[in-house]
Chains A and B, each alone.
Chain A
């Protein structure tokens, strides 16, 4: 009988031509942005509001200046008591800076509390990934596309407690057109506009791998992970710095869902989901990383 009633209702609505699924109206949200990095000083917190897509976006016009911002180091997990509180104050460029210095502790949970007059309170927690080391020595220089490779070896102890997700960022310190590796040089040489060419070189000078699961790495008998850094990640000859990031859940959720908004994933063209947020009372991200940095010089191969 219920099904009959449901069907009757559905077809009645069809006949009446009602819009069964109207679009929402724009609503303003508070946006939080902060990424803690293990063993690094507490980072700044950006607090702003969203803007309608039809309006020009200027961050400084959207900053929320009158918030009370505190980051708490918790004794244990998410719901454990506060061990220490770090107050923040509004700094330059509309960002909130910690008043007291503090080095972020790996494998610990931090809680963000923000109160803004006439708005909902904002809370979020992040558990900072454990620090990790590279057990392999990275050579001072490597010939591009040679047999020798940049290898990262991460001990098993650093990657306990579930599947880890990485992002690798490569920073070239000698980013010029002449120093581009052949593939990118060929692609960029098609740009006639010198300003755009320079812009593209600047874009390539710092690039990242996107999210990579530890499942992609080779696992040694002792459980440690081996990553051979692919040549695709190197855009310039010369000195390069590679930063490996391990992502906490909040960063992973934010980055993976933001990526699909711009066409990644298997969504149909035009189906744009909202980002996955792990924050109460606002949108944005309160996330954390653990990082490890390598440096090497990429030498030209004979003929390049």
Chain B
């Protein structure tokens, strides 16, 4: 269906493109970087426009903008970005002149009644179809479980769901966590979690920008069926040395940044601080606690300005979680897992029309769980090494056409070795070569109508798979307050994740191979973005997506040793559809949003969820646990005074899916088991996940107060209460067979949880 739709569309697209490409009204241009005037940090997605000719652009992921094809003359350039004062400058361009104009935006003060001025174009980039941009200030202000967290903030957005209070995993538009590509400075992060999934690995102090493509994402991204989360670290302050120290109940953070002669640097570290609590608790009788339990992560970045047209940077991330848990004599569990990334980036501006970016990345994920029970050791060595090279070229061909192309190639090594009692029980080392190339064109057909069409071609060496992924989106803006959008595309995924939503430390990534075809799916998205009143936004998006050739480790296989690779999987399909609404107030004393999602998600695996008596049936579709029909989030941020601020987040969601046991029986003589205990108790269930837990409701509040740290630096106290109503939401039901009849017990989520933190900014 998708092919039938896209082939003619792309053909028309190409034809029309050819017609318009030479219609250039002028040959002068203005370009440069957009930065924060206080820190020199480049700003991503800032909007810039020439007032007289109604031409505009927005800064790319490196903070660079370019407006080509301008006639000679005098112009007024206006640049705006959320949280900054509007920049305005008049300049004169000569014939054939390429003016380099660096734009420094002044951050807004926090005056009580101050209203930030925004142009109507302000949020265009952030409001592209399926796209959300989030700034780190917002992440830090939200009430959070123990500490500010990027993923938990994203979970508040429509279309994004959490599996539980204990998980920061992202379930976006019906996809599991493996269907979201997570990039940190263009490097793939394979296990973005701390404390088994309770928090994400991204330190909000180190992050500059978070951009989420929930669906229908363009051809420049690939590798996942569903969505892309593109995160960029801070470049570092280019004006002065500055820093932040934050002390929290669970973890503390420190960040330093500053300039040097040819650029800037930044470094941020975060470590959990549970040890004192563990020490106290360990001294109490009858409690067995870990002897060592912490996480640590460090982010760093150094920028080198080689010249006006060349910038280089090197960024890294390293994080680890460590657990040592002696449970009894001669019985202990150890866990060590984490990620490391390194990204070296070269940005080169060939001219005002041609912009390039080359990046070399390395990523490593490791997980080394092991236990020793009665001198019987069980170990796992799980490693991913991913080396990639990427390049993107952006060419502003004309007023109406911006071409972008690039490639992404890499070598990924997955090593998984299990041993039990000194014997290797499973060993696998696969080295996969992969590559992809894309070409896309943003075609501004008229002032009101814009298309983004592209084609991505990807290759994966294991199984020798070559796939084409056409993408097309369109936008019609009849006026400045209304945008109609549509997107359609094909997406391919060569990886799958073996994970547990409650415990991510054992995550194992697996690849397509001979007999294990890559997954693919089509996405269809329709959207309307409106500005019903000044400073308000109301957006609606409807989506439908398919998932074909899904492959995941067969959950019924107790021991994969000795099985051929393809026999360790089950193969299935799925689809998801829904409608998302987002009403927001972006500026003023009271800001915030209301997000609502109405959605369905389905999975289907042949032979699974059949009716009893029909074991060979095709399988019935069922919703995964994280499926929620209704999901409402309300986030409000109210500035009480110059010092005090109040933030609240409320979530209501349909209860998660679960399977209701309907009947039971007991085996009477399982000869391999203990005859003293007839514990082979067996459920007869109905349809998988056809029942629902009670609805989920949680209200979190936060008060923050600005103060001074001995008049040496700015400081802020943050008092938060998570689940202020102390509503004990149900995580899942546990069935107690020792009771007869079977007793259903609720396993509950977080109770009321007050936290306090203190932050010093210097």
Q: Interface residues, chain A, CB within 8 Å of chain B?
A: 3, 7, 10-11, 14, 20-29, 31, 33, 35, 37, 43-44, 46, 48-57, 59, 62, 95, 145, 163, 165, 167, 169, 181-187, 190, 202-203, 205-208, 210-218, 228, 230-232, 234, 243, 245, 256-261, 264-278, 280-281, 283-285, 289
Picked from A182, A203, A261, the residue with its CB within 8 Å of the CB of B330 is A182
A289 touches B671 (CB 8 A): yes
A204–B658 alpha-carbon span in the complex (Å): 32
A217–B502 alpha-carbon span in the complex (Å): 31
- Give chain B residues whose Cβ lies under 8 Å from the Cβ of A181: 374
A37 touches B671 (CB 8 A): yes
- Give chain B residues whose Cβ lies under 8 Å from the Cβ of A27: 612, 662-663, 684
A182 touches B562 (CB 8 A): no
B664 touches A22 (CB 8 A): no
Asked if B553 is at the interface (CB within 8 A of a chain A CB), the reply is yes
A270 touches B659 (CB 8 A): yes
Q: Interface residues, chain B, CB within 8 Å of chain A?
A: 1, 163, 286, 327-331, 373-376, 420-423, 425-426, 498-502, 544, 552-553, 555-563, 577, 579, 598, 600, 608-610, 612-613, 615, 621-626, 656-677, 680, 682-691, 693, 731-733, 735, 740-742, 747
A183–B673 alpha-carbon span in the complex (Å): 22
A228–B377 alpha-carbon span in the complex (Å): 13
Picked from A23, A57, A278, the residue with its CB within 8 Å of the CB of B687 is A23
A24 touches B615 (CB 8 A): no
- Give chain B residues whose Cβ lies under 8 Å from the Cβ of A213: 558-563
Picked from A231, A258, A266, A276, the residue with its CB within 8 Å of the CB of B375 is A231
Q: Which residue of B lies closest to A14 (CB)?
A: B598
A33 touches B668 (CB 8 A): yes
Closest Cβ–Cβ distance, residue B37 to chain A (whole Å): 49
A234–B687 alpha-carbon span in the complex (Å): 40
Question: Which residue, of A31, A55, A187, A234, has the highest number of chain B Cβ atoms within 10 A?
Answer: A31
A289–B673 alpha-carbon span in the complex (Å): 13
B664 touches A50 (CB 8 A): yes
14 pairs, CB–CB < 8 Å, chain A vs chain B: A21-B690, A24-B686, A46-B669, A53-B662, A182-B329, A183-B374, A212-B559, A215-B425, A261-B683, A270-B657, A272-B661, A272-B685, A273-B556, A273-B688
A260 touches B665 (CB 8 A): no
Closest Cβ–Cβ distance, residue A13 to chain B (whole Å): 9
Closest Cβ–Cβ distance, residue B658 to chain A (whole Å): 3
- Give chain B residues whose Cβ lies under 8 Å from the Cβ of A265: 555-556, 558
- Give chain A residues whose Cβ lies under 8 Å from the Cβ of B330: 182-183, 186
B742 touches A183 (CB 8 A): no
- Give chain A residues whose Cβ lies under 8 Å from the Cβ of B689: 270-271
Given A261-B682, A268-B625, A274 contacting B665 (CB threshold 8 A) = no
- Give chain B residues whose Cβ lies under 8 Å from the Cβ of A187: 327-328, 331
A35 touches B577 (CB 8 A): no
- Give chain A residues whose Cβ lies under 8 Å from the Cβ of B559: 165, 211-213, 215-216
Question: Which residue, of B558, B562, B610, B657, has the highest number of chain A Cβ atoms within 10 A?
Answer: B558
Picked from B328, B660, B686, B691, the residue with its CB within 8 Å of the CB of A186 is B328
A207–B626 alpha-carbon span in the complex (Å): 36
A50 touches B665 (CB 8 A): yes
Question: Which residue, of A185, A245, A261, has the highest number of chain B Cβ atoms within 10 A?
Answer: A261
A21 touches B662 (CB 8 A): no
Q: Which 7 A-B pairs have the closest CB atoms?
A: A215-B562, A215-B561, A24-B686, A270-B658, A232-B376, A268-B625, A269-B732
B329 touches A183 (CB 8 A): yes
- Give chain B residues whose Cβ lies under 8 Å from the Cβ of A208: 672-674
A205–B423 alpha-carbon span in the complex (Å): 26
- Give chain B residues whose Cβ lies under 8 Å from the Cβ of A257: 556
Closest Cβ–Cβ distance, residue B368 to chain A (whole Å): 20
Picked from A184, A206, A276, A280, the residue with its CB within 8 Å of the CB of B675 is A206
A203 touches B659 (CB 8 A): no
- Give chain A residues whose Cβ lies under 8 Å from the Cβ of B666: 57, 59
A206–B679 alpha-carbon span in the complex (Å): 13
A243–B663 alpha-carbon span in the complex (Å): 32
A46 touches B502 (CB 8 A): no
A165–B557 alpha-carbon span in the complex (Å): 11
- Give chain A residues whose Cβ lies under 8 Å from the Cβ of B544: 7, 10
Picked from A20, A183, A184, A264, the residue with its CB within 8 Å of the CB of B558 is A264
A143–B659 alpha-carbon span in the complex (Å): 48
Given A186-B331, A210-B558, A270 contacting B668 (CB threshold 8 A) = no
B556 touches A50 (CB 8 A): no
- Give chain A residues whose Cβ lies under 8 Å from the Cβ of B732: 268-270
A285–B656 alpha-carbon span in the complex (Å): 32
Given A7-B544, A260-B556, A51 contacting B421 (CB threshold 8 A) = no
- Give chain B residues whose Cβ lies under 8 Å from the Cβ of A218: 423
A145 touches B558 (CB 8 A): no
Given A59-B666, A183-B331, A272-B661, A215 contacting B563 (CB threshold 8 A) = yes
Closest Cβ–Cβ distance, residue A243 to chain B (whole Å): 7
A267–B624 alpha-carbon span in the complex (Å): 10
Closest Cβ–Cβ distance, residue B748 to chain A (whole Å): 12
Q: Which residue of B lies closest to A7 (CB)?
A: B544
A-B contact sample (11 more), CB < 8 A, given A202-B677, A272-B685 = A21-B621, A29-B663, A44-B669, A56-B741, A62-B665, A206-B675, A208-B673, A258-B680, A269-B625, A273-B556, A280-B613
Closest Cβ–Cβ distance, residue B417 to chain A (whole Å): 13
